[in-house]
DNA sequence: TTGTAGGCGTTATCAT
DNA sequence: ATGATAACGCCTACAA
């Protein structure tokens, strides 16, 4: 009696496996008493249907995959939280994959997922990619895909984003209105569509308010604090901006450390605003002005879109771009 | 050619399914050329072995479950990061489950996982539990279990924790040495073993330095900021502690907000130290003194223990308690 | 080195 | 209402 299964259960009860199986499915015809007898013994013997056998038989996994660049990150962990709530409600399981912004990893995850392992995928893309053909394979296998926040423009599928262009424009405008004349734009990956959108908002705001765009003020950073610390330190020392727009939370953090160590005063010497999902932005020294995306909602929304597709078996290829609003919250770091 | 499988691949190549199967397994005897032919066509047809079929056949899932109270939390997201690294290296998939500290959810997840869905489980317990018998079922099914950070003492299995008692003692001592005479201890759940351990360290430090233990200074909080804000506000206004020891990060955060709004000065009026995995503790106003657990290492260590058990098929029941050291980092919030 | 065949645990179809 | 049976896709003795 090591591994209990439907057969042993059936034998124990002098029933057929079909009848036992029926006891665990919602709809089927089955006598109430038999059903209770079965469930009772099952509980006693600690029997649970084997998911892999069911999945194989039903060609359905009741599992989704969530692919994100990283998890130790306020934005993504909040988004996953949102996804989880919806998935749990639907009785789905969640597989997590982290790309660390590595294109190869992303490709390999996707390829690995295209054979029935999951019923759908929610992804925030790594962004280093050029060839996105591996994603088209999913379509052939009818596995729905939803992008959130970081998307590939050239792939037609559901997308949940925020109004990156507009909020960047407004954030830049806010700095300008605060008196900034030389605003640095910090970005992790210029080539990423999200980086581009945000940068365009920045650039257009400069134009609109007749501030010259300076190549030197657009700073390509990385994901590592130490390198960023140095890069940003150099910019502040040499290029001397009076405002900083961080397109990503971690760059604002590095900037804070740099300013702290250099004795540069925020907001007196330099003003800072950043895309950020940091819940304690008000507690920083000084409190940080943020463009805050509705991370949890984005996760929820992405999950809902995915399940709509899963449940209807329909395609996600068109008219499925949801754009939520990010909120600009002005605090001390921009002089408020 | 809708769904490609091993049979179709075999037919296409004029081979048997076994030969094709062999091409995908590492060890088996197979002609190099045949193997290449197979892999080539597989790639072309975008074939990936069906995991559920393999799992069913092999009775192995190459998947682990990670059960944590929440994910939008610095400690847990860093720990998961550590787990992920090890798991990925081993080629394992990761299922995520969030309990939100709900015992029922925990029981239901575990029961659901006890039939082959995963090869092992890493969990930080919800803590509301009394009856832990559902966990013993896992042992019967030979599914290894590793606890980390929050554990059930009465379950004999591998555990990865930090020196909670000692660090709490030292943190309390630090407050005392800083001149605090009335130190409040903020806890989310007194009954949790981790809460108990930390509280014992606090209590023993008081005793050692001959400071009376006051019932009123031990404050039971919740997981909701609004409620905590009120609770802590009342304590500060009415009981007037001169030091606060937060056993959990979120309670320190709430305390900061309270102090900010009440105009209570940290560290002049009240000193604060907290268990916390906040990477930007140095940037808070004032910078927060922390007891920092090696979250990532804990995740890594827990995963390594789990895989040791999975790979060896051995039991985890004894002598598997790993205690890592938390670090006490003194900052402005405790006066310096 | 390759092929044959049976079974992993379920469930759906068809009978009874 | 219940039972017999085949099939989901794969892997592994065993045979050739």
Q: Measured on CA atoms in the order B237, B241, B244, B247, is the torsion positive or negative?
A: negative
Question: Nearest-CA neighbor of B290 among B209, B174, B201?
Answer: B174
Residue B91 and residue B38 share a domain: no
Residue B122 and residue B157 share a domain: yes
What's the rounded Cα separation, in Å, for the pair B101 and A186?
39
CB contact under 8 A, A280 and B116: no
Residues in B closer than 8 angstroms to A98, CB to CB, are 81, 84, 88
A265 touches strand C (CB under 7 A): no
Domain carrying residue A280: 164-293+328-334
Distance in Å from C15's C1' to A16's CA comes to 14
A112 touches strand D (CB under 7 A): no
Residue A286 and residue A183 share a domain: yes
Asked whether residue A42 is domain-assigned, the answer is: yes
Residue A233 and residue A223 share a domain: yes
Question: Between A97 and B4, whose confidence is greater?
Answer: A97
Query: Cα angle at B242 between B239 and B243, to 5 degrees?
Result: 110
Kindly list the distances between the CA atom of residue A75 and the CA atoms of A40, A163, A299, B74, in Å, as whole numbers in the listed order: 45, 16, 10, 12
Residues in A closer than 8 angstroms to B97, CB to CB, are 94
Residue range A300-322: average pLDDT? Answer: 87
What's the rounded Cα separation, in Å, for the pair A105 and A98?
8
What's the rounded Cα separation, in Å, for the pair B141 and B128?
24
Asked whether residue A299 is domain-assigned, the answer is: yes
Contact A68, A95 (CB under 8 A): no
Q: Measured between CB atoms, which of B50, B88, B112 is closest to A115?
A: B50
Pull the structure tokens for residue B295. Answer: 């979250």
With a CB cutoff of 8 Å and minimum separation 6, the contacts of A180 are A241, A242, A243, A271
CB contact under 8 A, A285 and B280: no
Asked whether residue B169 is domain-assigned, the answer is: yes
With a CB cutoff of 8 Å and minimum separation 6, the contacts of B23 are B30, B34, B35, B38, B39, B42
Residue A253: per-residue pLDDT: 98
Pull the structure tokens for residue B86. Answer: 């090890």
pLDDT band at residue A1 under the 50/70/90 scheme = very low
**pLDDT at residue A115 above 90?**
no
Residue B265 and residue B177 share a domain: yes
With a CB cutoff of 8 Å and minimum separation 6, the contacts of B58 are none
What's the rounded Cα separation, in Å, for the pair A290 and A217?
20
Residue range A55-82: average pLDDT? Answer: 96
B127-158 pLDDT, tens digit each = 766 789 899 888 888 899 999 999 998 899 99
Residue A28: per-residue pLDDT: 65
Q: Which nucleotides in chain D have some atom under 7 angstroms from a protein Cβ?
A: 1-13
Residues in A closer than 8 angstroms to B94, CB to CB, are 95-97
What's the gap in Å between the CA of A326 and the closest CA on chain B?
A: 19
Q: Kindly state the helix (H) or strand (E) to which residue B265 belongs, with its residue range.
A: none
Beta bridge partners of B185: B218, B245
Asked whether residue B1 is domain-assigned, the answer is: no
Please give the tally of structural domains in chain A: 3
B289 touches strand D (CB under 7 A): no
pLDDT band at residue A317 under the 50/70/90 scheme = low
Domain boundary among B20, B36, B57: B57
Residue A84 and residue A134 share a domain: yes
Residue ranges of A 133-152 with Cβ closer than 8 A to chain B: 137, 140-141
C-alpha count within 13 angstroms, C-beta hemisphere, residue A247: 31
Asked whether residue A30 is domain-assigned, the answer is: yes
Distance in Å from D6's C1' to A56's CA comes to 14
Residue A282 and residue A183 share a domain: yes
Asked whether residue A221 is domain-assigned, the answer is: yes
Residue A174 and residue A151 share a domain: no
Pull the structure tokens for residue B23. Answer: 């091409």
List the alpha helices (DSSP H) in chain B. Answer: 6-13, 17-24, 32-45, 51-58, 74-89, 103-113, 133-140, 164-177, 193-208, 225-234, 249-262, 295-312
Asked whether residue A1 is domain-assigned, the answer is: no
Contact B131, B157 (CB under 8 A): no
Question: Nearest-CA neighbor of B235 among B268, B267, B270, B203?
Answer: B270
B271-324 pLDDT, tens digit each = 999 999 999 999 999 999 999 999 999 999 999 999 999 998 877 766 689 999
Residue B1: per-residue pLDDT: 38
What's the rounded Cα separation, in Å, for the pair B26 and B74?
39
CATH code, domain with B51: 1.10.260.40
Residue ranges of B 67-106 with Cβ closer than 8 A to chain A: 70-74, 77-78, 80-81, 84, 88, 93-98
Q: What are phi and psi of B95, to 5 degrees?
A: -100, 135
CB contact under 8 A, A116 and B50: yes
CATH code, domain with B258: 3.40.50.2300
CB contact under 8 A, A256 and B283: yes
With a CB cutoff of 8 Å and minimum separation 6, the contacts of A22 are A28, A29, A30, A35
What's the rounded Cα separation, in Å, for the pair B2 and B50?
14
Among the residue ranges A141-155, A157-171, A186-200, B65-79, the one predicted with the least confidence is A186-200
Kindly list the distances between the CA atom of residue B95 and the CA atoms of A66, B113, B316, in Å, as whole numbers in the listed order: 10, 10, 21
Residue B289 and residue B174 share a domain: yes
List the alpha helices (DSSP H) in A275-319. Answer: 295-312
Residue of B nearest to A47 (CA): B115
What's the gap in Å between the CA of A288 and the closest CA on chain B?
A: 10
Domain boundary among B57, B74, B95: B57
CB contact under 8 A, B77 and A78: no
For B12-21, give one letter per residue: b (16+ CB within 10 A) or e. bbebeeebbb
pLDDT band at residue A73 under the 50/70/90 scheme = very high
List the alpha helices (DSSP H) in B209-319. Answer: 225-234, 249-262, 295-312
B189-240 pLDDT, tens digit each = 887 878 889 999 999 999 999 999 999 999 999 999 999 999 999 999 999 9
Residue B128 and residue B50 share a domain: no
Q: Is B234 on the interface with A (CB under 8 A)?
A: no
CB contact under 8 A, B117 and A52: yes
Please give the model's pTM, rounded to 2 decimal places.
0.95
Question: Nearest-CA neighbor of A80 among A142, A148, A12?
Answer: A148
Residue B181 and residue B243 share a domain: yes
Q: Which nucleotides in chain C have some atom under 7 angstroms from a protein Cβ?
A: 1-13
Residue B47 and residue B83 share a domain: no
**pLDDT at residue B14 above 60?**
yes
Asked whether residue A46 is domain-assigned, the answer is: yes
A40-68 pLDDT, tens digit each = 999 888 898 999 999 999 989 999 999 99
**pLDDT at residue A263 above 90?**
yes
């Amino acid at each position: 009696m090591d591994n209990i299964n439907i057969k042993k259960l059936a034998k124990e009860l002098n029933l057929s496996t079909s009848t036992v199986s029926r006891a665990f499915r919602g709809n089927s015809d089955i006598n109430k008493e038999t059903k209770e007898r079965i469930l009772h013994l099952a509980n006693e013997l600690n029997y649970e249907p084997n998911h892999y056998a069911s999945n194989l038989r039903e060609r359905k996994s009741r599992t989704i995959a969530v692919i994100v660049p990283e998890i130790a990150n306020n934005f993504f962990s909040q988004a996953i939280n949102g996804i989880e709530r919806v998935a749990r409600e639907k009785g789905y399981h969640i597989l997590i994959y982290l790309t660390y912004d590595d294109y190869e990893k992303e490709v390999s995850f996707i390829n690995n997922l295209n054979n029935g392992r999951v019923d759908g995928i929610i992804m925030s893309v790594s962004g280093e990619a050029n060839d996105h053909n591996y994603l088209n394979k999913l379509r052939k296998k009818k596995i729905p895909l939803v992008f959130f926040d970081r998307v590939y423009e050239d792939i037609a599928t559901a997308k949940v984003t925020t109004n990156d262009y507009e909020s960047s424009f407004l954030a830049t405008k806010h700095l300008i209105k605060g008196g900034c004349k030389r605003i640095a734009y910090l970005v992790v990956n210029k080539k990423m569509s999200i980086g581009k959108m945000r940068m365009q908002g920045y650039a257009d705001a400069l134009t609109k308010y007749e501030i010259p765009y300076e190549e030197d003020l657009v700073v390509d950073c990385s994901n590592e604090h130490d390198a960023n610390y140095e890069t940003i330190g150099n910019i502040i020392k040499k290029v001397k901006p009076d405002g900083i727009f961080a397109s990503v939370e971690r760059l604002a953090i590095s900037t804070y450390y740099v300013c702290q160590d250099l004795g540069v005063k925020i907001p007196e010497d330099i003003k800072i605003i950043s895309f950020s999902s940091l819940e304690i932005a008000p507690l920083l020294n000084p409190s940080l002005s943020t463009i805050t995306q509705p991370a949890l909602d984005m996760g929820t929304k992405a999950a809902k879109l995915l399940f709509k597709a899963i449940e209807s078996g329909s395609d996600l290829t068109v008219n499925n771009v949801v754009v939520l609003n990010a909120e600009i919250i002005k605090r001390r770091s921009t002089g408020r």
